[in-house]
Amino acid sequence: MRFSLHEYSPAVRIWMLLCIYTAQLCASIWFAYELRFDFAVDSAYQQERLFVLLWLVPVELMLLAFFHQLNPLLGYFSTPDLARIFHSLFISSVVAVAVWALAGTGFAPPRGVIVTNFVFSLVGLTGARLLLRATREMSRQPGAKDQRRARRVGIIGAGDAGAVLAHELSLKPGFGLDPVAFFDDDKRKWHSRVHSVPVLGPPELLLEPEARHGIQEVIIAMPSAPAHRIGELVRILREVRLPCKTVPSLDQLALGQVKVSQLRSIEVVDLLGREKVELETESIRQILADRTILVTGAGGSIGSELCRQISTYKPKLLLLLDRSEPHLFQIEQELIGLGYGARITPVVADILDRERLEQIFSHYRPEVLFHAAAHKHVPMMESQPGEAIKNNTLGTAQLAELAAEFSVDRFVLISTDKAINPTSVMGATKRLAEMYVQSLSSLHAHRTKFIAVRFGNVLGSSGSVIPVFQKQISEGGPVKVTHPEMTRYFMTIPEASMLVLQSAMQGVGGEIFVLDMGKPVRILDLARQMIELSGLKPDEDIRIEITGVRPGEKLFEEITHRGENFVPTPHVKIFRFIAQPAQIANLRAILDQLRQEVHQRGPGELKCILKEAIPDYTPFLSEPVPASTITDLLQFPKRSL
């Protein structure tokens, strides 16, 4: 039967610790006197020693209690606890020196005793706490039977993350993982030990059967490693047919969202090489803390992540607006689970419903608005451009006008790189929304700061290529790629949302911010990587099929429009573009025409109206629109942008 500290109540454990501390402190003072006087303490100093015990030990205990060292969790002891014990004993020693200086001998111990007592007490208390910690850990160690059942695990990365992981796995047999070896690229760590686990050498050793030591699974514990190195490790592990997992990302660990022991499978994002985003958190806090924030499209991929991140800045109220009740419910419950329930209010509404929006603005008076609601599926919007026009353009214009009317401080439009020299209805409607927001900014420069933020594809968002490929792989293929040379920019949802917040802080009104998307990724290469991550071989286990470019798609995305001036920003991952805004009267005339004819005209005719408003737009027309029809469309109204 093992002894367990947790068998006792908290009060009993505190009394146990108090008794241990008292005995240790008394012994330290006693032996400090003995050492000071060569184990021949005369009667006068013996009386002084007893008097010192009566007042100095209580002072030390009170200081230990003040520094939270009378804790019922006896078996937990770490470096911060050691620092607190040091501070409490150091202050008590300073008190003893002060008493000695003011009252002299008879009341306080000699200086040599004070110094010796400090050392003895620090060593003794630390040793006692370490012994209690060892007792707790021994009581939680798995028995031989559990050890036999545990899978033998190799850990790649003998740094801080790997060390913490090995320690947690050894303490928690419930994981069923027994760390038996470390592998690391750093030669200085080879042939050493981390928590009694040997560091055998580089990860390439796993290619040698005799060096695997019966390892059944590998964990990559290198959260800061470059993507190309993670890719190399994945290929090694796939070659030797060892299943692998990885620890959470550096951002998640730094924010305290997860623990290092919360393992996950290797994902394609680990291989794309996105660098960690650095934020000016205090500047962002100034525009979000204690303010009413409205996020439209709050149930979507970007909107929901914005809500998660905004919540951490403690807004006075966060309004979650979405017309999809199920999606809104999911993000509401998640934020409640994270402890933000008192700061959030879900709002079911459609951005096309002006009366509902007026009621929301009038009642809640939002101060910052992030507009993420949109139709974004490119091929789907090509066949029904009216819906994209209503949601992406007319809805945005209506929301922006209300923001100016109700003096919202900042209006941030989430746009897309597909708005640059657009070839799709989705991109064109977003571009027209950008133009309208820019024009409103020049009209209401001192009332509302209108800002747009462009970025490309986000990994894992609904309808994006990643979940589509995952589904196709799970079904046995084929994985369908539209063109072998098609490329796209990718970034993670948290990264995009963080940079949106950074852009919102930097904006002064009228700008379009473009996020640094890194290097473009070839979709064919992405498909191959995802197949390999599934433990399969491209073109052998899973076939890749080239289907042809779909309506509205480009082979590659662009960064900037012609006529937009680049202005650097303090943040290396954000670029600012400024262009001459279009005349608001002309834009309103176009929107009026679209509003009246959105359900009266066919897809090709609506695209022609968009083309008139956006000269850079190259529409895909499944059937030619007669010249007479185009002339008729452009007669209403006469305009020039």
471 is catalytic: no
Residue 143 pLDDT class (50, 70, 90 cuts): very low
In sequence order, what are the residues at sequence separation of 6 or more whose Cβ sits closer than 8 angstroms to the Cβ of residue 366? Answer: 292, 293, 294, 319, 360, 406, 408
Strand partners, 488: 521
- Cα pseudo-dihedral 197, 203, 206, 208, rounded to 10: -110
pLDDT average, residue stretch 399-414: 93
pLDDT at 476 over 80: yes
pLDDT at 355: 95
**Candidate ranges 35-49, 259-273, 319-333; pick with highest mean pLDDT:** 319-333
pLDDT at 1: 42
pLDDT at 265: 67
**Measuring CA to CA, which residue among 465, 374, 379 is closest to residue 425?**
379
pLDDT at 140: 52
Residue 247 CB neighbours (<10 A)? 25
Residue 78 pLDDT class (50, 70, 90 cuts): low
pLDDT at 271 over 70: no
Residue 3 pLDDT class (50, 70, 90 cuts): very low
At residue 217, the 3 state secondary structure works out as: strand
638 contacts 615 by C-beta, under 8 angstroms: no
DSSP one-letter string for 424-437: SHHHHHHHHHHHHH
- The pTM of the full predicted model, rounded to 2 decimals, is 0.66
DSSP one-letter string for 462-502: TTSHHHHHHHHHHTT-PEEES-TT-EE-EEEHHHHHHHHHH
Q: Is the dihedral of CA 200, 203, 206, 207 positive or negative?
A: negative
Residue 598 CB neighbours (<10 A)? 18
7 or 80, which is more confident: 80
The 3 state secondary structure assigned to 520-538 is CEEHHHHHHHHHHHCCCCE
At residue 401, the 3 state secondary structure works out as: helix
pLDDT at 638: 45
Residue 568 amino acid letter: P
pLDDT at 255: 47
Average pLDDT along the chain: 81
pLDDT at 291: 94
pLDDT at 194: 83
At residue 153, the 3 state secondary structure works out as: strand
Q: Where are the alpha helices (DSSP H) in 67-108?
A: 79-103
249 contacts 265 by C-beta, under 8 angstroms: no
Give the C-alpha separation, 420 to 427, whole Å. Answer: 7
pLDDT digits (tens, 9 = 90+) for 432-468: 999 999 888 888 767 889 999 988 777 766 667 777 8
pLDDT at 310: 92
pLDDT at 138: 60
Axis crossing angle, helix 603-613 with helix 584-597, rounded to the nearest 10: 180
Residue 641 pLDDT class (50, 70, 90 cuts): very low
Q: Where are the domains of the chain?
A: 5-140, 144-266, 281-458+490-516+558-581, 585-634
pLDDT average, residue stretch 253-272: 59
pLDDT digits (tens, 9 = 90+) for 37-56: 878 888 777 888 888 888 88
609 or 270, which is more confident: 609
pLDDT at 207 over 80: yes
Domains 144-266 and 281-458+490-516+558-581 agree in fold:
yes
Give the C-alpha separation, 309 to 311, whole Å. Answer: 5
> Which range, of 24-33, 328-337, 536-545, averages the lowest pLDDT?
536-545
pLDDT at 414: 93
pLDDT digits (tens, 9 = 90+) for 385-404: 999 999 999 999 999 999 99
pLDDT at 52: 84
Give the C-alpha separation, 305 to 460, whole Å. Answer: 12
Q: Is the dihedral of CA 552, 558, 559, 565 positive or negative?
A: negative
Kindly state the DSSP code that residue 409 receives in the 8-state scheme. S
**Candidate ranges 25-29, 288-292, 547-551, 599-603; pick with highest mean pLDDT:** 288-292
Strand partners, 376: none
> Which range, of 200-209, 412-421, 547-556, averages the lowest pLDDT?
547-556
In sequence order, what are the residues at sequence separation of 6 or more whose Cβ sits closer than 8 angstroms to the Cβ of residue 45? Answer: 33, 37
DSSP one-letter string for 344-362: EEEEE--TT-HHHHHHHHH
Taking the CA of residue 354 as centre, how many other CA atoms within 13 Å lie in the half-sphere pointing to its CB? Answer: 8
223 or 345, which is more confident: 345
Taking the CA of residue 453 as centre, how many other CA atoms within 13 Å lie in the half-sphere pointing to its CB? Answer: 29
CATH of 281-458+490-516+558-581 given 3.40.50.300, 3.20.20.70, 3.10.270.10, 3.40.50.720? 3.40.50.720
Fold of the CATH domain 144-266: Rossmann fold (3.40.50)
Give the C-alpha separation, 263 to 127, whole Å. Answer: 34
Sheet of 574-578, strand order = 344-348, 317-322, 292-296, 368-371, 410-414, 449-454, 512-515, 574-578, 565-568
**Measuring CA to CA, which residue among 608, 640, 614, 602 is closest to residue 627?**
608
In sequence order, what are the residues at sequence separation of 6 or more whose Cβ sits closer than 8 angstroms to the Cβ of residue 575? Answer: 513, 514, 515, 516, 566, 567, 568, 569
pLDDT at 481: 87
Residue 526 pLDDT class (50, 70, 90 cuts): confident
Residue 406 pLDDT class (50, 70, 90 cuts): very high
Of all residues in the chain, the percent with pLDDT exceeding 70 is 82
Kindly state the DSSP code that residue 582 receives in the 8-state scheme. P
What is the distance of C-alpha 419 from the center of its chain? 27
435's tokens: 């133009």
pLDDT at 268 over 50: yes
Q: Indicate which residue of 189, 376, 390, 418 is catalytic.
A: 418
Residue 357 pLDDT class (50, 70, 90 cuts): very high
172's tokens: 């928690």
Buried b vs exposed e over 445-460: b needs ≥16 C-beta within 10 Å?
Answer: eebbbbbbbbbbbbbb
Residue 376 amino acid letter: K
394's tokens: 């007319």
pLDDT at 639 over 60: no
Instruction: Compute the radius of gyration of the chain from its Cα atoms.
Output: 33
pLDDT at 145: 43
pLDDT average, residue stretch 120-125: 86
Size of the chain in residues = 641
Q: Which residue's structure tokens are 């950008």?
A: 434
Give the C-alpha separation, 125 to 442, whole Å. Answer: 68
pLDDT at 5 over 60: no
Residue 558 pLDDT class (50, 70, 90 cuts): low
pLDDT at 16 over 90: no
Distances in Å between the Cα of 570 and the Cα atoms of 132, 452, 519, 577 are 51, 17, 21, 14
